[in-house]
Structure 1
Amino acid sequence: MRADRLLQIILLLQRHPRLSARELAERLEVSTRTVMRDMEALSAAGVPVYTERGRNGGCVLLPGYRADVSGLTPREAQALFAWSGRASLSEELGLRDALQSAMGKLSASLPVQLQDDADALSGAILVDRRRWFAAAEEIEALPVLRRAVVSRRRVRLRYASASAGRAQRRTVDPWGLVEQAGRWYLVAAHRGVARMYRVSRVEAAEVLEQAAERPADLDLQAEWERLRSGLEAMKPPGVDVVVRVRPELVAVVRRIASPMLERGEGVRDVAAGGRQAGREGWPQLGMRFRVRQAACAVLLGFGADVEVLEPVDLRGELLGLARAAVGTYGAGG
């Protein structure tokens, strides 16, 4: 986000001979302090910008300087246009029109050959971030949260956590947004403690006038990894399973079980053991479920068409669940 803002500052100063830090801050929806830091960063990078104090002072770009993107390499141009093809990402953030406008301006300044190659790649890349067999998440609050993050202002949420019985109100200091496997999360501090909030559970969001408290040395990537590791450490234990499947249902079992397996793991073929019990010819499959309860739910749903061979204790657990189901549904006669 900062690289985009630095470019915006250069383009604004190209169009306007002089702008105050406050005017730039209003246009960019950031604080004047952020504008001054960005001006220092541009100057350090060799861009001829400077600030003048006094009544008629402001932020100035040396006359005649122009940001030139004609020196982009073919790979750099293709990388930019391939990223712009993630229209769904920009749309979720409320930036699709802005991205299209920006890429149009960039395209107009590119040599013809680079533009043709970049257009060819962007037209051949499709990014579908939806999970198989999963409904799309409602993330209407995402554009509001984006504005809060960019402006570094506090935000009041009505948030329905997975553990709470009903939505609760809380005021947080937003630090950043993370898109992970098609799901959006807000990283924010509540009463000084960093937390992650799933955006689909945000029922309402309101940006406040108060400035957000944000560590000066914040590393969003490192903070996300810390929060994620803590969450994964609380995850229920998974389980490795070997099953025997009716031959005509092998493809169905693979398809239904796959979303429940550990990341990077798939359904694998396993050599048949000595335990056939009249089911010769039934293929054996191995898989590792992320959560034991998910393994029970999926496998028990296939009834007698899938038999768990290992682990033995899971066979006993499934038997207990099946008996309990019979007791529940058979009680009415």
Structure 2
Amino acid sequence: MRADRLIMMTLLLQTEGRLTAKELAKRLEVSERTIYRDIDALSAAGIPVYAEPGNGGGISLPPEYRTRADDLTSSEVQALFVQHASQTMEQLGIGSSFRSGLLKIMNALPTRHKVDAEWIRDRVFLDTEAWRPRDPQVDFLQLVQQAVWEQRAALLVYQSKDGALFEARVEPHGLVAKGGIWFMVASVGAEVGESEVNRRMLPFRLTRIQSFTLLEERFDRQTEFDLVQFWRKWVERFQSTYFMPEG
């Protein structure tokens, strides 16, 4: 819907600063011509968006411009306050921060939107944890998280699905929790000794990590790496390999 796209464009410009029409078109999955029409629509609505032509130019908002809590729609408020299991955030150590952040948003909402928030919290609960959690204790989660946060390389000993052990130098780029199971996504160093996996980005199930040693060495995170995109493609390949289609 166009209204949703206009909101997304405003939030992108607000959080990321100046973006080109090409960048916005890619992010919003529309043509550049559509982006320019949307800019006209935002301007007509009173949002101070402007475009600068030429090299170094782009589309931006004034630095002081901020959307307000009362600009949120009812459906956006309801989406924010859907209740869900918080075990994943607790494991990351950010459960209390998440709850306090939602509380601050709630306090900033106009009265009419507080009703929407309470309404959805009383009616929908998303339990994203597995029915029978197989990873009740992830020994190396905090160390892996530190490696991701600080962009530090590490040495690990890993047990593959068939039980074989191997050592590797890894550069952790992200963490993924799927159905209560944690994975580290990391690029694999040359020490693995297998040329076909060198410098590849691979997922590692945390409960199969036998040891994990942080190194003092820092690495430059691959700027083009998109964690969500990588994970979706990997899951698609995994499912096509190990799950037979119905029919």
Alignment counterpart, residue 177 of structure 2, candidates 173, 176, 179: 179
TM-score (norm: length of structure 1): 0.46
Larger radius of gyration: 1
What residue in structure 2 maps to residue 69 of structure 1? Answer: 69
What residue in structure 1 maps to residue 106 of structure 2? Answer: 107
CA contact (8 A) 2:85 2:128 kept: no
Return closer, same or farther for 1:184/1:133 CA change in 2, 3 Å cut-off. Answer: closer
Give the C-alpha shift of residue 81 in structure 1. Answer: 1.5
What residue in structure 1 maps to residue 91 of structure 2? Answer: 92
* 1:195 lines up with 2:197 in the alignment: no
Find the aligned partners of 2:162 and 2:127 in 1 and give their Cα distance: 30
Find the aligned partners of 2:147 and 2:68 in 1 and give their Cα distance: 31
What residue in structure 2 maps to residue 162 of structure 1? Answer: 161
Give the C-alpha shift of residue 190 in structure 1. Answer: 0.4
Find the aligned partners of 2:160 and 2:102 in 1 and give their Cα distance: 38
| Cα shift readout 1:259-314 (whole Å, capped 9, x = no counterpart) | xxx7xx6xxxxxxxxxxxxxxxxxxxxxx8xxxxxxxxxxxxxxxxxxxxxxxxxx
Aligned residues: 184
TM-score (norm: length of structure 2): 0.60
Helix, strand or coil at the partner of 1:145: helix
Residue segments in structure 1 that go unaligned for 5+ positions in a row: 8-42, 49-61, 239-261, 266-287, 289-333
Find the aligned partners of 1:185 and 1:71 in 2 and give their Cα distance: 37
Return closer, same or farther for 1:68/1:136 CA change in 2, 3 Å cut-off. Answer: same
Give the C-alpha shift of residue 66 in structure 1. Answer: 6.5
> Match for 1:46: what amino acid?
L
Alignment counterpart, residue 46 of structure 1, candidates 50, 53, 61: 61
Helix, strand or coil at the partner of 2:71: coil
Percent identity for Structure 1 against Structure 2:
25
Give the C-alpha shift of residue 95 in structure 1. Answer: 1.1
Residue segments in structure 2 that go unaligned for 5+ positions in a row: 1-10, 16-57, 190-198
> Match for 1:102: what amino acid?
G
What residue in structure 2 maps to residue 212 of structure 1? Answer: 219
Helix, strand or coil at the partner of 2:177: strand
What residue in structure 1 maps to residue 78 of structure 2? Answer: 78
Give the C-alpha shift of residue 110 in structure 1. Answer: 0.8
> Match for 1:120: what amino acid?
W
> Match for 1:223: what amino acid?
F
Find the aligned partners of 1:144 and 1:127 in 2 and give their Cα distance: 28
By relative contact order (CA 8 Å, sep 6+), the higher-ranking structure is 2
CA contact (8 A) 2:158 2:209 kept: yes
Find the aligned partners of 1:187 and 1:91 in 2 and give their Cα distance: 20
